[in-house]
Amino acid sequence: MSEQFSNASNEPLKIGVLISGSGSNLQALIDAIQAGNLNAKIEIVISSKPDAYGLQRAQKAGIQTVSLNPSVYANERVANSLIAEELQKAGAEYVIMAGYMRKVTEEILNAYPDRVVNLHPALLPSFVGAHAIQDAFESGVKVTGVTVHFANEEYDRGPIIAQRAVRIEEEDTLESLEERIHEVEHVLLPEVVQLIAEGRVEVTQNRTVAISQNS
């Protein structure tokens, strides 16, 4: 069974964004919307850390925010149920994990089947986990990159929507590579959310993702 997420009405795609830190990818979404390059509305920003700078970015943009105390995550299912509830209350149709460092469990995945989008700073399935850029840098690969995929219950797995390569140059330091990776993230994530907003992303049974031509 394939699911075409059509958006014929051209209504802005209602999204909820999950963050854990600086929120530079959240900022990229905010900027793309304000520049008229992304037909979406960020209904809520939820942070797994009360002191995440991304919360200030959201508040500056007039976006509703919720932050969870780390203690809530002592019970992952409770935390994820709370998050799912807040997302649905805010009217989010899609969930964008933008620099979110916690696992999403079935409480969220079941509420948003094939509608949770995750950003990973490596070319999955290579370099899964929370230190992807450093792992790639230390492994000596010549090319790494960025992946945007639909999250599922296995961390950093799930149907890949888009990837973009980033070369690792001889003169690169970990910092210079991180900078180039983030630059690519800030372009690729808004591009993918716009493809979804245009109804051009289709997840088929064998878990691949098709991007239809511009309708």
Active site residues: 120
Which of these ranges, 8-16, 22-30, 31-39, 199-207, lies near ligand GRF under the rule CB under 6 A?
Answer: 22-30
Shortest separation between residue 89's beta carbon and ligand GRF, angstroms:
24
Is 159 near ligand GRF (CB under 6 A)? no
Task: Give the torsion sign (CA, 152, 199, 111, 97).
Answer: positive
Selected from 99, 145, 159, 190, the binder of ligand GRF by CB under 6 A is 99
**Greatest Cα pair distance in the chain:** 49
Shortest separation between residue 22's beta carbon and ligand GRF, angstroms:
4
* Residues in region 166-185 near ligand GRF by CB under 6 A: 182, 185
25's CB contacts (< 8 A; 6+ apart) are 19, 98, 99, 119, 185, 186, 189
Is 145 near ligand GRF (CB under 6 A)? no
Whole-number Å distance between alpha carbons of 26 and 17? 7
- In whole angstroms, how far apart are CA 50 and each of 47, 85, 150, 157? 7, 18, 26, 27
- Strand locations in 5-153, DSSP E? 13-19, 40-47, 65-67, 94-97, 116-120, 143-150
Is 22 near ligand GRF (CB under 6 A)? yes
The closest of 189, 50, 31 to 121, measured between CA atoms, is 189
Selected from 29, 96, 104, 119, the binder of ligand GRF by CB under 6 A is 119
Shortest separation between residue 46's beta carbon and ligand GRF, angstroms:
13
Is 98 near ligand GRF (CB under 6 A)? yes
Total residues in contact with ligand GRF, by rule CB under 6 A = 14
Which residues here bind ligand GRF, judged by CB under 6 A? 19, 21-26, 54, 98-99, 119, 121, 182, 185
